[in-house]
Protein backbone atom coordinates (compact mmCIF):
# COMPACT_ATOMS: atom_id res chain seq x y z
CA UNK A 1 0.00 0.00 0.00
CA UNK A 2 1.43 3.35 -1.02
CA UNK A 3 1.32 6.24 1.36
CA UNK A 4 1.46 9.91 0.50
CA UNK A 5 1.95 12.58 3.12
CA UNK A 6 -0.92 15.03 2.80
CA UNK A 7 0.07 17.32 5.61
CA UNK A 8 2.09 17.63 8.77
CA UNK A 9 0.74 19.95 11.47
CA UNK A 10 2.45 21.17 14.62
CA UNK A 11 -0.17 21.12 17.36
CA UNK A 12 -0.45 23.62 20.20
CA UNK A 13 0.69 21.03 22.75
CA UNK A 14 4.00 20.37 20.96
CA UNK A 15 2.93 17.17 19.17
CA UNK A 16 2.99 16.66 15.41
CA UNK A 17 0.00 15.34 13.50
CA UNK A 18 0.62 13.69 10.14
CA UNK A 19 -2.17 12.92 7.72
CA UNK A 20 -1.44 10.40 4.98
CA UNK A 21 -3.30 9.15 1.94
CA UNK A 22 -3.01 5.36 2.01
CA UNK A 23 -5.55 4.73 -0.76
CA UNK A 24 -5.31 1.76 -3.06
CA UNK A 25 -6.71 1.01 -6.46
CA UNK A 26 -9.25 -1.83 -6.36
CA UNK A 27 -10.30 -1.93 -10.01
CA UNK A 28 -9.50 -0.21 -13.27
CA UNK A 29 -11.46 2.91 -12.32
CA UNK A 30 -12.19 2.63 -8.58
CA UNK A 31 -10.34 3.15 -5.31
CA UNK A 32 -10.52 2.23 -1.69
CA UNK A 33 -9.79 5.66 -0.24
CA UNK A 34 -7.95 5.46 3.07
CA UNK A 35 -6.83 8.49 5.05
CA UNK A 36 -4.83 7.98 8.22
CA UNK A 37 -3.86 10.40 10.97
CA UNK A 38 -0.98 9.71 13.36
CA UNK A 39 0.42 11.50 16.37
CA UNK A 40 3.50 10.03 18.07
CA UNK A 41 3.90 10.85 21.76
CA UNK A 42 7.26 10.46 23.49
CA UNK A 43 6.77 8.91 26.93
CA UNK A 44 8.67 11.09 29.38
CA UNK A 45 8.19 12.24 32.98
CA UNK A 46 7.29 15.81 31.96
CA UNK A 47 3.94 14.59 30.62
CA UNK A 48 2.64 13.60 34.03
CA UNK A 49 1.74 15.40 37.22
CA UNK A 50 3.63 14.58 40.41
CA UNK A 51 0.43 12.99 41.73
CA UNK A 52 0.32 10.60 38.79
CA UNK A 53 3.96 9.65 39.18
CA UNK A 54 3.44 9.10 42.92
CA UNK A 55 0.71 6.58 42.03
CA UNK A 56 2.31 4.99 38.96
CA UNK A 57 6.12 4.92 38.83
CA UNK A 58 7.62 6.11 35.56
CA UNK A 59 9.54 2.83 35.27
CA UNK A 60 6.24 0.91 35.24
CA UNK A 61 4.83 3.12 32.51
CA UNK A 62 7.94 2.68 30.36
CA UNK A 63 7.94 -1.10 30.92
CA UNK A 64 4.36 -1.43 29.73
CA UNK A 65 4.12 1.08 26.88
CA UNK A 66 7.72 1.71 25.85
CA UNK A 67 9.25 5.08 25.09
CA UNK A 68 6.65 6.10 22.48
CA UNK A 69 2.90 5.73 22.03
CA UNK A 70 1.28 6.51 18.68
CA UNK A 71 -2.29 7.70 18.34
CA UNK A 72 -3.73 6.48 15.04
CA UNK A 73 -7.05 7.18 13.42
CA UNK A 74 -8.02 5.80 10.04
CA UNK A 75 -11.06 6.21 7.87
CA UNK A 76 -11.98 4.45 4.64
CA UNK A 77 -14.41 4.78 1.76
CA UNK A 78 -14.89 1.96 -0.72
CA UNK A 79 -15.48 1.96 -4.47
CA UNK A 80 -14.69 5.60 -5.09
CA UNK A 81 -14.40 6.39 -8.80
CA UNK A 82 -11.15 7.86 -10.17
CA UNK A 83 -12.87 11.17 -10.90
CA UNK A 84 -14.07 11.50 -7.28
CA UNK A 85 -10.99 10.27 -5.41
CA UNK A 86 -9.32 13.63 -4.72
CA UNK A 87 -12.60 15.19 -3.58
CA UNK A 88 -13.21 12.32 -1.14
CA UNK A 89 -9.65 12.56 0.21
CA UNK A 90 -10.17 16.31 0.67
CA UNK A 91 -13.43 15.75 2.54
CA UNK A 92 -11.83 13.20 4.87
CA UNK A 93 -8.91 15.52 5.58
CA UNK A 94 -11.31 18.40 6.30
CA UNK A 95 -13.19 16.14 8.73
CA UNK A 96 -9.92 15.25 10.48
CA UNK A 97 -9.03 18.91 10.81
CA UNK A 98 -12.43 19.85 12.19
CA UNK A 99 -12.96 16.95 14.58
CA UNK A 100 -9.55 15.55 15.53
CA UNK A 101 -7.29 18.59 15.76
CA UNK A 102 -9.09 20.29 18.68
CA UNK A 103 -8.98 17.01 20.64
CA UNK A 104 -5.37 16.18 19.78
CA UNK A 105 -4.23 19.74 20.57
CA UNK A 106 -5.41 19.70 24.18
CA UNK A 107 -2.54 20.15 26.64
CA UNK A 108 -3.50 17.00 28.58
CA UNK A 109 -3.90 14.77 25.49
CA UNK A 110 -0.36 13.27 25.56
CA UNK A 111 -0.58 12.18 29.21
CA UNK A 112 -4.12 10.84 28.82
CA UNK A 113 -3.14 8.83 25.75
CA UNK A 114 -0.13 7.27 27.46
CA UNK A 115 -2.11 6.43 30.61
CA UNK A 116 -4.92 4.93 28.51
CA UNK A 117 -2.40 2.65 26.77
CA UNK A 118 -0.82 1.82 30.13
CA UNK A 119 -4.18 0.76 31.57
CA UNK A 120 -5.01 -1.30 28.46
CA UNK A 121 -1.88 -3.34 28.91
DSSP state of 14: S
pLDDT in tens, 21-47: 999 999 999 999 999 999 999 999 999
Cα gap 121→97, rounded to integer Å = 30
By CB neighbour count within 10 A (0-12 exposed, 13-18 middle, 19+ buried), where does 24 fall? exposed
Over residues 107-114, mean pLDDT: 97
Q: Provide the domain limits for residue 26.
A: 4-120
Sign for the CA dihedral angle at 91, 68, 60, 121 comes to positive
**In Å, what is the CA distance from 3 to each residue of 27, 97, 104, 113, 114?**
18, 19, 22, 25, 26
% of the chain residues with pLDDT over 70: 98
Q: How many distinct structural domains can be found in the chain?
A: 1
**CA atoms of 44 and 58, how far apart (whole Å):** 8
Instruction: Output the average pLDDT for the chain.
Output: 96
pLDDT of residue 7: 96
Q: Is the pTM of this model over 0.85?
A: yes
Amino acid sequence: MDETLIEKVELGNGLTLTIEDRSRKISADAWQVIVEAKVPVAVEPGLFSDETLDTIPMEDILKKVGDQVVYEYRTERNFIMDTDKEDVVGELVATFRASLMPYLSKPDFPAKLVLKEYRKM
